[in-house]
Structure 1
Amino acid sequence: MRRAIFLKSLAAMAAAGVLPVSAQKAAALKMMIPANPGGGWDSTGRALGKAMQDAGAAASVSYDNRGGAAGIIGLAQFVNASKGDPNALMVMGAVMLGGIIAGRPPVGLDKVTPLARLTSEYNVFVLPVDSPHKTMKDLLEQLKKDPGSVKWGGGSRGSTEHIAAAMIARAVGVDPAKINFVAFRGGGEAIAAVLGGNVTVGGSGYSEFAEYIAAGKMRAVGVTSGTRLKGVNVPTLKEQGIDVEIGNWRGVYGAPGITDGQRKVLIDALHRTFKHPAWQDQMDKNRWTPAWLAGDEFANFVDAEFASLRATMAKSGMV
């Protein structure tokens, strides 16, 4: 009798989508990556998908890359195609907030379901290896003489590297509105532009440029962290007298219209993955800082970040 009651309870919980992760069959998940292949969101999404499978939190993961407009194109696609889908995920982060502030799209994050923040990462600025500039000081001397002659390459308008470039200009007495920022649809395009010498300086998360810096194909001249990154011999902007510090966090959202129970299932699956050695290895490999925050706490964090970024962008002449 007790067994029958127990089984009925499990069935009811399953129907409601509130079974603990350990008691559920791993689902086939769909991951929206709102960027082209080769960038930070792409590497984060694919690393997360693999780690979820290694952790037994997903049976399989399929990926959909939709780049452009700081992730807004992918966000719109996710909202329209995934309503009520408990197996749909979307990678996002600070860059998307900047894109929403700058672009004012008709679809915002209020249409999707906040799940968790996973990592934080700082930006690094690099020069093409054959650049006539050797240091950040050299670059800024040119910026002061002729702001438009310095081509800053990076992600979409409103990305953290775009904001950082504007903050650097402001910090050294240059009108941020005069910076020449070249936006690319994905990290792969930005990498190619730096390697080809098509931009004066490139900016991105350290993990995206790390292999090229290590191989001597790019020259790193500054990171946006408060202190030097562990194991990375690149000076911070602050230690070079530039009062700029800005981080780039990444997180995951669920589809519009999922139930509270379905949201909990996804958060539990992400938390199980976050603690698994496969994900820990990815964080170490990419020099990501663990930054777990879930559910309503994550939603409140995003609201606060949105307000803070808007104020920063306004001061930098970007809004």
Structure 2
Amino acid sequence: MLVSSITDMTEESGKSMKITPPRRRLLAGSGAAIAAAIMLTGCGPAATNPNQNTASSVAQELTIDAPSGPGSGYDQTARALEKSLKSENLSKKIEVRNTQGAGGTVALSNFTQKTGTKDLMLGGLSLVGATITNSAPNKLSDLTPIARLIGEYEVIVVPAESPHKSLNDFLTALKSNPGANPIAIGNQGGIDHIWGGKLVQNAGVRPTEVNFVTFSGGGEALVALLGNKVSAGIAGYGEFADQVEAGKLRILAVSSDKPLDLAPDAPTVVDAGYADAVLVNWRGIFAPPGVSDADRKALSDVFAKLSQSSTWKETLKTNGWSDQFLDSDKFAADLEEQQTSTQEILTTLGLK
């Protein structure tokens, strides 16, 4: 698989600080006393541990690794984080990097070699599944979980001119000839594959008999869909939203139990009669292995602040994402559970 890197770096200048006139008069009148006190007590700026990060300093310069190609859900989340962190003055300089290959496991393998707090990586349920399916040597829990951020529901779409007018129409055709109706997905064993497996299983088709075609980014999947190279596509709503709104793609179903705010007319899997196929994908942010507890907490505090901001809440609304925030400790515990449950799902579906 091809590994590529796309860089998008922007900078903002820092803000200067000034001391108000009353403070200057105080310093002028008692400078010697203050200097003596600092020397005796070790207090003040000179005593600050330069290696101790705080929530106000730890995220000033970041690289966020999206473990997939441009236009993918990870890429969209990384770009949204870049914009929101800067808007809330939680970071000044952010580079977004795309690393493709093996469902994100290439990016994961590379990231385990990183150190410190300036490099962060996105991960999610898709990557949990990919590590299992690809028998990857590393898993997400090898990293330092910082915060779970968002949830996004899946959609299954077809080209506007497709003869399949409903999910049941498509599944019926799939049952007749599984190999003749290829489905575009993001990666082997990822969230798209898991949800697609659950759908076709409901139709009485073994998931391993279906032609699931993997694409490293949403852009590539769109080209295949619009060029009628595949019969349907599965991804997070955000990856297909523009083409759905333009009338070039049609949603057969969303993986939620209720209509999406951004696509209120799209039928849900519950509407189609598949209540057990409800599924939401989560995405979170990770630091390299070996980050200290103090730095881990400082980073987690940054994203806790972001999650409460009006900027981020508007970002969730605009992208149709749900708030799935968990701090570092809760996220780490949840990740262990996700690892176990995903292994069971993939085994049940015959994808592992």
TM-score by length of 2: 0.85
3-state SS of the aligned residue for 1:202? strand
Q: Which residue is 1:15 aligned to?
A: 51
Distance verdict in 2 for CA 1:26–1:66, change over 3 Å: closer
What residue in structure 1 maps to residue 5 of structure 2? Answer: none
Distance 1:155 1:26 in 2: 30
| Equivalent of residue 180 in structure 1, options 211, 221, 224 | 211
Find the partner of 2:274 among 231, 242, 248.
Answer: 242
Cα offset, 1:295, TM superposition: 1.1
One of 104, 109, 115 as aligned partner of 1:71: 104
Secondary structure of 1:126's match?
A: strand
Ranges in structure 1 where 5+ consecutive residues have no aligned partner = none
Match among 177, 184, 196 for residue 165 of structure 1: 196
Cα RMSD (Å) of the superposition? 1.7
Unaligned regions of 5+ residues in structure 2, if any?
1-33
Contact 1:68/1:186 (8 A) holds in 2: no
Aligned residue for 2:274, secondary structure, equals: coil
1:51 aligns with 2:108: no
Once residues 224 and 59 of structure 2 are traced to their aligned partners in structure 1, the CA distance between those partners, rounded to angstroms, is 41
Alpha-carbon deviation of 1:15? Answer: 2.9
Q: CA deviation at 1:143?
A: 1.0
Call closer, same or farther: CA 1:152–1:26 in 2, change over 3 Å: closer
Q: Which amino acid aligns with 1:198?
A: K
Aligned to 2:12: none
Partner of 2:181 in structure 1?
150
Amino acid in the other structure paired with 2:48: A
Report the equivalent of 2:254.
Answer: 223
| 2:284 aligned with 1:251 | yes
TM-superposed deviation, 1:26: 5.4
Separation in 2 of the partners of 1:62 and 1:73? Answer: 19
Alignment of 1:73-92 (within 5 A): 73-80=106-113, 82-83=114-115, 85-92=116-123
Match for 2:152 among 121, 134, 154? 121
Deviation track 1:202-259 (CA, whole Å, cap 9, x = no partner) reads 0111111111111101011101112211242111112111231111000000012221
Write the distance in 2 (CA, Å) between the matches of 1:211 and 1:111: 36
Report the secondary structure of 2:48's partner residue. helix
For the 8 Å contact 1:34–1:74, the answer to whether it is kept is yes
SS in structure 1 of the partner of residue 70 of structure 2? coil
Could you tell me how far apart the structure 2 residues matched to 1:77 and 1:125 are?
A: 32
Confirm or deny that 1:281 pairs with 2:314.
yes
Deviation for aligned residue 1:16 = 2.7
CA distance in 1, matches of 2:136, 2:304: 31
Code of the residue aligned with 1:126 in structure 2: it is V
Corresponding residue number in structure 2 for 1:211: 242
Structure 1 segments, 4+ long, off by >3 Å, are 1-6
Deviation at 1:291, TM superposition (A): 0.7
Matched residue of 2:326: which SS?
strand
Aligned length: 313
Q: What displacement does 1:277 show?
A: 2.1
Once the two structures are TM-superposed, the CA of residue 298 in structure 1 deviates from its matched residue by 0.2
Native 8 Å contact 2:58 2:117 kept in 1: no
Q: Secondary structure at the match of 2:44?
A: helix
Counterpart among 304, 311, 315 of residue 271 in structure 1: 304
Secondary structure of the residue that 2:323 maps to in structure 1? strand
Structure 1 residues 10 and 187 mapped into 2: Cα distance closer, same or farther (>3 Å)? farther
C-alpha change, 1:161 and 1:33, in structure 2 (3 Å) is same
Aligned to 2:233: 202
Determine the C-alpha separation between the residues in 2 that align with 1:48 and 1:118.
10
Indicate the percent of aligned positions where both proteins have the same amino acid: 33
Partners of 1:44 and 1:69 in 2: CA distance: 19
**Aligned 8 A contact 1:126 1:203 in 2:** yes
Distance across 2 between alignment mates of 1:270 and 1:35: 22
* Shift of residue 169, structure 1, vs aligned partner: 1.4
Instruction: Please tell me whether residue 41 in structure 1 is matched to residue 81 in structure 2.
Output: no
Residue equivalent to 1:32: 65
Aligned counterparts of 1:307 and 1:9: Cα–Cα separation in 2 = 48
- Within 2, Cα distance between the matches of 1:50 and 1:167? 35
Query: What displacement does 1:88 show?
Result: 1.1
